[in-house]
Structure 1
Protein backbone atom coordinates (compact mmCIF):
# COMPACT_ATOMS: atom_id res chain seq x y z
CA UNK A 1 0.00 0.00 0.00
CA UNK A 2 3.04 2.31 -0.15
CA UNK A 3 2.32 5.52 -2.02
CA UNK A 4 3.32 9.17 -2.08
CA UNK A 5 -0.31 10.13 -1.43
CA UNK A 6 -2.13 9.69 1.87
CA UNK A 7 -4.26 6.57 1.98
CA UNK A 8 -6.75 5.69 4.69
CA UNK A 9 -6.64 2.16 6.11
CA UNK A 10 -9.89 0.40 6.96
CA UNK A 11 -10.40 -3.08 8.37
CA UNK A 12 -13.34 -4.79 10.05
CA UNK A 13 -10.82 -6.86 12.05
CA UNK A 14 -10.44 -3.91 14.45
CA UNK A 15 -13.04 -1.61 16.00
CA UNK A 16 -14.41 0.81 13.43
CA UNK A 17 -13.11 4.37 13.47
CA UNK A 18 -15.14 7.27 14.75
CA UNK A 19 -16.34 9.54 11.92
CA UNK A 20 -13.66 12.14 12.69
CA UNK A 21 -10.69 9.84 12.10
CA UNK A 22 -9.19 6.93 10.15
CA UNK A 23 -7.98 3.67 11.71
CA UNK A 24 -4.65 4.55 10.11
CA UNK A 25 -3.14 6.61 7.32
CA UNK A 26 -0.29 5.48 5.07
CA UNK A 27 2.12 7.95 3.53
CA UNK A 28 5.55 7.42 1.97
CA UNK A 29 5.86 3.92 3.39
CA UNK A 30 4.89 4.88 6.94
CA UNK A 31 1.74 3.76 8.74
CA UNK A 32 0.29 6.16 11.30
CA UNK A 33 -2.25 4.28 13.45
CA UNK A 34 -4.90 6.14 15.42
CA UNK A 35 -5.34 5.43 19.10
CA UNK A 36 -6.65 1.98 19.95
CA UNK A 37 -8.41 0.97 23.14
CA UNK A 38 -9.01 -2.54 24.43
CA UNK A 39 -12.34 -2.93 22.64
CA UNK A 40 -13.44 -6.23 21.15
CA UNK A 41 -14.41 -5.49 17.52
CA UNK A 42 -17.00 -8.29 17.51
CA UNK A 43 -18.95 -7.00 20.51
CA UNK A 44 -17.88 -3.33 20.73
CA UNK A 45 -17.30 -3.82 24.44
CA UNK A 46 -14.21 -3.05 26.49
CA UNK A 47 -12.20 -6.13 27.51
CA UNK A 48 -12.90 -7.16 31.09
CA UNK A 49 -10.24 -7.95 33.66
CA UNK A 50 -7.09 -5.97 34.31
CA UNK A 51 -5.25 -3.38 32.28
CA UNK A 52 -3.18 -6.30 30.92
CA UNK A 53 -6.24 -7.71 29.10
CA UNK A 54 -7.14 -4.31 27.71
CA UNK A 55 -3.52 -3.74 26.64
CA UNK A 56 -3.48 -7.08 24.84
CA UNK A 57 -6.75 -6.25 23.05
CA UNK A 58 -5.57 -2.74 22.10
CA UNK A 59 -2.33 -4.16 20.68
CA UNK A 60 -4.24 -6.89 18.83
CA UNK A 61 -6.45 -4.21 17.30
CA UNK A 62 -3.40 -2.19 16.24
CA UNK A 63 -1.85 -5.33 14.77
CA UNK A 64 -4.94 -5.90 12.59
CA UNK A 65 -4.82 -2.31 11.34
CA UNK A 66 -1.10 -2.62 10.61
CA UNK A 67 -1.72 -5.85 8.68
CA UNK A 68 -4.46 -4.17 6.64
CA UNK A 69 -1.88 -1.51 5.73
CA UNK A 70 0.66 -4.11 4.60
CA UNK A 71 2.75 -3.80 7.75
CA UNK A 72 2.88 -5.69 11.05
CA UNK A 73 3.79 -5.45 14.71
CA UNK A 74 7.39 -6.35 13.84
CA UNK A 75 7.60 -3.11 11.82
CA UNK A 76 6.45 -0.72 14.55
CA UNK A 77 8.87 2.14 15.13
CA UNK A 78 7.16 4.07 17.93
CA UNK A 79 4.28 3.53 20.34
CA UNK A 80 2.50 6.21 22.34
CA UNK A 81 0.72 4.87 25.42
CA UNK A 82 -1.86 6.73 27.48
CA UNK A 83 -2.89 5.41 30.91
CA UNK A 84 -5.17 6.83 33.58
CA UNK A 85 -2.93 5.68 36.44
CA UNK A 86 0.84 5.26 36.56
CA UNK A 87 0.21 2.53 39.15
CA UNK A 88 -1.05 0.35 36.25
CA UNK A 89 2.12 0.68 34.16
CA UNK A 90 3.91 -2.45 35.49
CA UNK A 91 0.93 -4.69 34.62
CA UNK A 92 0.50 -2.94 31.26
CA UNK A 93 4.21 -3.52 30.59
CA UNK A 94 3.83 -7.26 31.17
CA UNK A 95 1.30 -7.49 28.33
CA UNK A 96 3.23 -5.01 26.16
CA UNK A 97 6.49 -6.95 26.51
CA UNK A 98 4.80 -10.19 25.40
CA UNK A 99 3.60 -8.47 22.23
CA UNK A 100 6.81 -6.85 20.98
CA UNK A 101 10.07 -8.72 20.41
CA UNK A 102 13.49 -7.14 20.81
CA UNK A 103 14.38 -4.59 19.73
CA UNK A 104 11.19 -3.06 21.04
CA UNK A 105 9.83 0.13 19.48
CA UNK A 106 10.63 3.56 20.87
CA UNK A 107 7.78 4.66 23.11
CA UNK A 108 6.34 7.14 25.53
CA UNK A 109 3.84 6.49 28.32
CA UNK A 110 1.71 9.41 29.43
CA UNK A 111 -0.73 9.60 32.33
CA UNK A 112 -4.00 11.33 31.44
CA UNK A 113 -7.13 12.20 33.37
CA UNK A 114 -9.56 10.16 31.23
CA UNK A 115 -9.81 8.09 28.05
CA UNK A 116 -12.59 7.22 25.62
CA UNK A 117 -15.33 4.90 26.85
CA UNK A 118 -13.94 5.09 30.39
CA UNK A 119 -11.03 2.75 29.66
CA UNK A 120 -7.66 2.91 31.38
CA UNK A 121 -5.26 2.43 28.44
CA UNK A 122 -5.01 3.64 24.85
CA UNK A 123 -2.18 3.10 22.37
CA UNK A 124 -1.22 4.52 19.00
CA UNK A 125 1.74 3.63 16.87
CA UNK A 126 3.79 4.43 13.79
CA UNK A 127 5.20 1.65 11.63
CA UNK A 128 6.57 1.08 8.16
CA UNK A 129 5.63 -1.06 5.20
Structure 2
Protein backbone atom coordinates (compact mmCIF):
# COMPACT_ATOMS: atom_id res chain seq x y z
CA UNK A 1 0.00 0.00 0.00
CA UNK A 2 1.37 3.40 -0.98
CA UNK A 3 0.20 6.88 -0.06
CA UNK A 4 2.00 10.15 -0.62
CA UNK A 5 4.81 9.59 1.91
CA UNK A 6 4.61 5.93 3.04
CA UNK A 7 4.92 2.59 1.27
CA UNK A 8 3.80 -0.54 3.10
CA UNK A 9 5.14 -3.91 1.97
CA UNK A 10 3.09 -6.68 3.56
CA UNK A 11 5.14 -9.59 2.20
CA UNK A 12 8.53 -8.98 0.56
CA UNK A 13 9.65 -11.66 -1.88
CA UNK A 14 10.82 -14.80 -0.11
CA UNK A 15 9.24 -13.82 3.24
CA UNK A 16 6.05 -15.45 4.53
CA UNK A 17 3.19 -12.93 4.85
CA UNK A 18 2.58 -11.64 8.36
CA UNK A 19 -0.80 -11.71 10.00
CA UNK A 20 -1.97 -8.25 11.04
CA UNK A 21 1.13 -6.23 10.18
CA UNK A 22 3.36 -5.08 7.33
CA UNK A 23 6.88 -6.50 7.20
CA UNK A 24 8.29 -3.23 5.84
CA UNK A 25 7.19 0.40 5.85
CA UNK A 26 9.27 2.98 3.96
CA UNK A 27 8.65 6.66 4.49
CA UNK A 28 9.96 10.08 3.61
CA UNK A 29 9.45 13.08 5.83
CA UNK A 30 9.79 13.81 9.53
CA UNK A 31 10.34 11.01 12.03
CA UNK A 32 8.16 10.95 15.18
CA UNK A 33 8.91 8.67 18.16
CA UNK A 34 6.23 8.13 20.80
CA UNK A 35 7.34 6.66 24.11
CA UNK A 36 5.67 3.52 25.35
CA UNK A 37 2.13 4.26 26.45
CA UNK A 38 0.35 2.39 29.22
CA UNK A 39 -3.25 2.43 30.44
CA UNK A 40 -2.95 5.61 32.49
CA UNK A 41 -5.71 8.22 32.49
CA UNK A 42 -5.02 11.97 32.48
CA UNK A 43 -4.52 11.97 36.26
CA UNK A 44 -2.10 9.03 36.21
CA UNK A 45 -4.59 6.43 37.44
CA UNK A 46 -4.69 2.99 35.84
CA UNK A 47 -7.68 2.33 33.58
CA UNK A 48 -9.04 -1.22 33.43
CA UNK A 49 -7.22 -3.03 36.22
CA UNK A 50 -7.31 -6.72 35.24
CA UNK A 51 -9.12 -5.95 31.94
CA UNK A 52 -6.90 -6.29 28.85
CA UNK A 53 -9.56 -4.81 26.53
CA UNK A 54 -10.03 -1.66 28.62
CA UNK A 55 -6.28 -1.23 29.00
CA UNK A 56 -5.70 -1.69 25.26
CA UNK A 57 -8.31 0.93 24.39
CA UNK A 58 -6.73 3.41 26.84
CA UNK A 59 -3.25 2.70 25.46
CA UNK A 60 -4.43 3.49 21.92
CA UNK A 61 -6.25 6.62 23.12
CA UNK A 62 -3.00 7.77 24.76
CA UNK A 63 -1.10 6.99 21.54
CA UNK A 64 -3.67 9.00 19.57
CA UNK A 65 -3.18 11.99 21.86
CA UNK A 66 0.62 11.76 21.67
CA UNK A 67 0.58 11.45 17.88
CA UNK A 68 -1.79 14.42 17.62
CA UNK A 69 0.60 16.52 19.73
CA UNK A 70 3.20 15.93 16.98
CA UNK A 71 0.72 16.69 14.20
CA UNK A 72 0.43 12.99 13.31
CA UNK A 73 -2.29 10.36 13.27
CA UNK A 74 -2.50 6.59 13.04
CA UNK A 75 -2.19 6.72 9.23
CA UNK A 76 1.35 8.06 9.78
CA UNK A 77 2.45 5.19 12.07
CA UNK A 78 5.18 3.02 10.56
CA UNK A 79 6.03 0.81 13.56
CA UNK A 80 4.32 -0.36 16.75
CA UNK A 81 6.09 -2.31 19.47
CA UNK A 82 3.91 -4.21 21.95
CA UNK A 83 5.13 -5.18 25.40
CA UNK A 84 2.73 -7.53 27.19
CA UNK A 85 2.88 -9.38 30.48
CA UNK A 86 0.96 -12.25 28.84
CA UNK A 87 0.84 -13.02 25.11
CA UNK A 88 -2.89 -13.73 25.51
CA UNK A 89 -3.34 -9.93 25.79
CA UNK A 90 -2.31 -9.52 22.13
CA UNK A 91 -5.88 -10.19 20.97
CA UNK A 92 -7.11 -7.19 22.98
CA UNK A 93 -4.32 -5.04 21.54
CA UNK A 94 -5.10 -6.12 17.98
CA UNK A 95 -8.78 -5.31 18.51
CA UNK A 96 -7.95 -1.83 19.83
CA UNK A 97 -5.48 -1.30 16.97
CA UNK A 98 -7.99 -2.45 14.36
CA UNK A 99 -10.49 0.13 15.67
CA UNK A 100 -8.10 2.95 14.70
CA UNK A 101 -5.88 1.61 11.89
CA UNK A 102 -7.31 0.42 8.59
CA UNK A 103 -6.27 -3.07 7.45
CA UNK A 104 -4.56 -1.65 4.34
CA UNK A 105 -2.43 0.72 6.47
CA UNK A 106 -0.97 -1.71 9.01
CA UNK A 107 2.43 -0.69 10.35
CA UNK A 108 5.39 -2.94 10.94
CA UNK A 109 5.22 -4.38 14.45
CA UNK A 110 6.93 -6.45 17.10
CA UNK A 111 5.52 -8.09 20.21
CA UNK A 112 7.49 -9.00 23.31
CA UNK A 113 6.31 -10.75 26.45
CA UNK A 114 7.90 -9.15 29.52
CA UNK A 115 8.08 -10.23 33.15
CA UNK A 116 6.66 -6.92 34.41
CA UNK A 117 5.93 -3.32 33.55
CA UNK A 118 6.37 -0.16 35.63
CA UNK A 119 3.31 -1.00 37.82
CA UNK A 120 2.04 -4.49 38.70
CA UNK A 121 -1.52 -3.70 37.51
CA UNK A 122 -0.35 -2.76 33.99
CA UNK A 123 -0.81 -5.52 31.41
CA UNK A 124 0.67 -3.83 28.32
CA UNK A 125 2.68 -0.96 26.89
CA UNK A 126 2.90 0.17 23.26
CA UNK A 127 5.40 2.49 21.60
CA UNK A 128 4.97 4.00 18.15
CA UNK A 129 7.14 5.41 15.40
CA UNK A 130 5.53 7.60 12.75
CA UNK A 131 6.64 9.56 9.69
CA UNK A 132 5.01 12.86 8.75
CA UNK A 133 5.18 14.16 5.19
CA UNK A 134 7.51 17.12 4.79
CA UNK A 135 9.35 19.08 7.45
CA UNK A 136 8.46 18.59 11.10
CA UNK A 137 7.56 20.82 13.98
CA UNK A 138 10.26 23.13 15.32
Give the TM-score, by structure 2 length.
Answer: 0.68
> How many residues in Structure 1 have an aligned counterpart in Structure 2?
101
Which runs of 5 or more residues in structure 1 are unaligned? 1-27
1:124 aligned partner: 127
Q: Is the radius of gyration larger for structure 1 or structure 2?
A: 2
The worse-fitting range, judged by mean Cα deviation, of 95-104 and 71-80 is 95-104
1:87 aligned partner: 88
For the residue of structure 1 that corresponds to 2:99, the secondary structure is helix
Q: Distance in 1 between matches of 2:80 and 2:98?
A: 12
Per-residue deviation, 1:86: 1.1
For the residue of structure 2 that corresponds to 1:126, the secondary structure is strand
Q: Distance in 2 between matches of 1:91 and 1:127?
A: 22
Give the TM-score, by structure 1 length.
Answer: 0.72
Provide runs of 4+ in structure 1 moved above 6 Å.
none
The worse-fitting range, judged by mean Cα deviation, of 91-100 and 54-63 is 91-100
Greater relative contact order: 1 or 2 (C-alpha under 8 angstroms, separation 6 or more)?
Answer: 2
